[in-house]
Structure 1
């Protein structure tokens, strides 16, 4: 994959994650762009990259750049992804794809008409044992899907003094915990089960209607705001936690709990798929083991080992059994899948990576969840 030249836009927490994973995937990172020329230069120096690009416009004007990765705040995704595709470049966009379904639907259309590959960075699909779970659903090891339960919980917004742009509806959208981390779980479960979620019933909660915003910059996951930093009160309308009941296309049902105010849980996604033959349980904080639940024989623990896994799972597992793979490896495998598909001429749905159509469906899910919460009733998810 050394023939590709890629630029990453965004220098916060996730931008450098993309840079590192692209290098490990064999993709040339030609530069990184921040929110100002000064930040672009500083990030380039910090990451050991050329400082040839100061702005996104510089990148779009360079015909030697094949692809752009967008790791910017949510409110920029639509305009930036549109500009990248109109510049005839491939694009990988962080989630959520856009601020609303009108925007995401237009991005799906633009991507289709552009003839370029367009992915959303739902990296959690690319833990090898998540692919293993999906393969076991496909080969009927699970049997008929009965129900799904799970959660995605963190604690980085536990205190009223914890603050980040994501808590503001104007920057991140009207949903926060659901859109920021819940959509990872929702995308993952639909990928594994092979079934769309068709209706939802949500009960969400804003734990802190007011948070203290530092008057200076803060870094995501950097810990407590220092006591000597000046703050100002800010009204918060986005949710800190909530429960969502789910119905799937074939009649299976389920429930998701999402929270960014659960002490001690730094980044924990869990799921349990219950089938008529077997259950599958996985925890992102122990990602190299998949628990297999049985009725008439002892339960089993499948440890990640390419030699013992389904071919699709083994294909995204780079190391032999006993050599653990984790969060950074999911981005590497996502990017290998994305750029490998481009090499093969796979530029649209169905694709071996999460596409803009998948991202659009997640936006439709979020809108149904928000409507359900506000009206306190079941709401059908609009068709993508």
Structure 2
């Protein structure tokens, strides 16, 4: 029997969860927007049977086994805690909470509840990223020397581009790092299983003032533009960031993130240099993995379910030559989540503990930027 799931959030990512859940074989029974009217509109548009008037109504629904939280960041802690205490499994969008104090409490609440609690770091589930993790786990890469990469977008390129995420009160003190940089950091952790031991960060706000539309603007919309009335508003989050990393094994790394890089709609890159070979991947060509060698020709490995690492083979559904992309990663993350619940085994998905790790890391990055020095993390 499929799990019965309610989704919180009707903006960009909520409907993506609905689609991914359905493709993963789960039943979406209800949806909640920021108002009863938005709930109804989304339920009608997405063909979902129940439109909730508020979060309490969702929690009171005995037909709901699991809750997917895609609301703005500042609601995550309260909603995740309440859902777990109400006996629901929870899959939460990142960041898990606004502070490490909150995320640490959520780890405790999840453990006490006995329910599954995951964070949607979906980028782990590109087949070639899973294959890279399998190569590292099998020893093909050898020890890691260093890691480099980026995650860049352009949806905040104009000073008229605006979204609730640019306000620290809504999304947290970090924006580009927390919104997309954490995806990169989680991906590198999921591939290498190396903890970050210290960070040194430099962040920059390109537009200290943006024009906020007096109406609503959805994520990844084209901004205000045209004749839409706007008002100036001070921005207290970064458009760009560069972070140097020291890993617990002595390896080094560097990450840069930007939401103001023209032409890059959603581009994540990494290159991992190891003792035996190196690995590189770009999200704009997600079905290819580059494998570098010193003493023989390099390889361009194309996704083929039959040749993926064994640990990755259950997360690639289509034959070679039939590309898998962004929507498929949600399906696969949710597959891992619900299969783990059914099996009762060790979690095979990003857990609340891993979501908490990312927030601790973000706070160290912010502290490093503010104090302009290296900040060490407790990796024990």
Q: Report the TM-score range of the alignment, normalised by the length of the smaller protein.
A: over 0.9
CA root-mean-square deviation: 0.9
Structure-2 separation of matches of 1:30 and 1:105 = 30
Q: What corresponds to 1:131 in structure 2? A: 130
Q: What corresponds to 2:363 in structure 1? A: 367
Q: Secondary structure at the match of 1:98?
A: coil
- Give 1:212-227 correspondences, 5 Å limit: 212-227=211-226
Structure-2 separation of matches of 1:86 and 1:307 = 42
Measured against aligned partners, the alpha-carbon deviations of 1:139-185 in whole angstroms (never above 9, x if no partner) come to 11111100000000000001110000000000000000000000000
The answer to whether the Cα contact below 8 Å between 1:8 and 1:69 also exists between their aligned partners in 2 is yes
TM-score by length of 2: 0.99
Measured against aligned partners, the alpha-carbon deviations of 1:304-357 in whole angstroms (never above 9, x if no partner) come to 0011111111110001100000000000000000000000113xxx52100000
- Give 1:73-222 correspondences, 5 Å limit: 73-222=72-221
Q: What corresponds to 2:281 in structure 1? A: 282
Structure-1 separation of matches of 2:219 and 2:55 = 23
The Cα of 1:54 is off from its aligned counterpart by 2.3
Q: What corresponds to 2:336 in structure 1? A: 337
Q: Secondary structure at the match of 1:369?
A: helix
The Cα of 1:226 is off from its aligned counterpart by 2.9
Structure-2 separation of matches of 1:308 and 1:345 = 28
The Cα of 1:52 is off from its aligned counterpart by 4.5
Structure-1 separation of matches of 2:115 and 2:223 = 42
1:72 pairs with 2:71: yes
The answer to whether the Cα contact below 8 Å between 2:203 and 2:242 also exists between their aligned partners in 1 is yes
The Cα of 1:382 is off from its aligned counterpart by 3.8
1:248 pairs with 2:244: no
Q: In the comparison of the two structures, how many residue pairs are matched?
A: 380
TM-score by length of 1: 0.98
Q: What corresponds to 1:303 in structure 2? A: 302
Measured against aligned partners, the alpha-carbon deviations of 1:51-89 in whole angstroms (never above 9, x if no partner) come to 352222111111221000000000000000000001010
The answer to whether the Cα contact below 8 Å between 2:36 and 2:51 also exists between their aligned partners in 1 is no
The Cα of 1:298 is off from its aligned counterpart by 0.5
The answer to whether the Cα contact below 8 Å between 1:305 and 1:320 also exists between their aligned partners in 2 is yes
Structure-2 separation of matches of 1:42 and 1:363 = 34
Q: What corresponds to 1:34 in structure 2? A: 33
In structure 1, the gaps of 5 or more residues are none
The answer to whether the Cα contact below 8 Å between 2:83 and 2:90 also exists between their aligned partners in 1 is yes
The answer to whether the Cα contact below 8 Å between 1:364 and 1:382 also exists between their aligned partners in 2 is no
Q: Secondary structure at the match of 2:315?
A: coil
The answer to whether the Cα contact below 8 Å between 1:45 and 1:51 also exists between their aligned partners in 2 is no
Q: Secondary structure at the match of 1:92?
A: strand
The Cα of 1:43 is off from its aligned counterpart by 0.4
Structure-1 separation of matches of 2:81 and 2:146 = 38
In structure 2, the gaps of 5 or more residues are none
Structure-2 separation of matches of 1:184 and 1:353 = 14
The Cα of 1:221 is off from its aligned counterpart by 1.1
